[in-house]
Each structure stands twice: as structure tokens, then as C-alpha cells.
Amino acid sequence: MDHKDTREGMGRRYFLGIAALLGLGGTGFAISRSGSADARPKRKFAITKTDAQWRRQLTASEYRILRQAGTERPYSSKLNKEKRKGIYICAGCALPLYSSRTKFESGTGWPSFYAPLKNAIGTSTDYKIGVPRTEVHCRRCGGHLGHVFNDGPKPTGKRYCMNGVAMDFRPG
């Protein structure tokens, strides 16, 4: 075998390796996006609705975030700049989720809190970006709210990084 044959063989292997990686990546993307329109955890929640009912109730943005586990663009939510005292509630079922007392400026572009209200949220493991993250959802309707990270301020050290579209604000 001469040098040219070795290069051609390596070229084919390289090409096939890249194609396989792209194929697996595409498969992973397809798996994460496939299935039912409702990408929420498959658990029993106190409030359950059909996909059609959620679509009628929610705006297109709310549906994409709450029911399909989407993410809004950073700095796009009016709640990111909300400074008044009050309660942040689920946009899907109005369950109180976070107090303004626990809100802080994280610099991420999403409303962030260091603690939820008692019995407000649930969590699950999310692998959508290829590494495990802790997804946060509404305890009552299962709507996707965002993720929690271990880089927040005291007293909890947690950063509940929420999609503003997933919540409404009640001043008070």
C-alpha cells in the first residue's frame, strides 16, 4: 500500500466518522424534539389539560415555554426588570411560585430567585443540551419554568433561573 492509498483510507474514515457524529447529533436532536407536543414530565399533576386546551389558554410564547420546555431570549422579559414587591405566579395555572423578596439580579438576562415558595415547584433531570441540568416545573400544572443552578447567593446558594414568559406578576 502506498502513501496515497493510506491518505484515501484515512479520508474515508474521517468522512465516515464525521458523518456518524453528525448523524448521532441529529438523532439526539430528533429524540429531544420528538414525541408528543407536550414535552412536560409525564407525571400526574393536579391540573391537567389536553394539548388543544393548553393552546387555547396560553399565548404562543407561553405555550412554547410552559408546554414544550422552550427558553425565551435573555433580557426579553419585562419581569427581568420588575422591582416591585409582590408574588410571581405560574402563567399556566396561577400557582404562587416566588416572592419578590427572593429575587436577585443574576446578570443572566432571566428573572432569578434564590428560593421558591413552599410547595410551589417540582424538579426533574433535563438532558436536552447533552449534560444533566435540574429543570424546574410548576408543581400544580407541570409547566416548564426554567432551571436551578448551584451558583446563587446566600442563604441557599441556589439560582432559580426562570423564563419570565412562564410567570405573571401580582404586585402586593
Active site residues: 161
Residue 139 in contact with residue 94, Cβ under 8 Å? no
- The C-alpha angle 145, 38, 128, rounded to 5 degrees, equals 60
DSSP assignment of the chain equals --HHHHHHHHHHHHHHHHHHHHHHHHHHHHHHH-S-S--S-SS--SS---HHHHHHHS-HHHHHHHTT---PPTT--GGGG--SSEEEEETTT--EEEEGGGEE--SSSS-EES-PPTT-EEEEEE-TTSS-EEEEEETTT--EEEEEES---TTT--EEEE-GGGEEEEE-
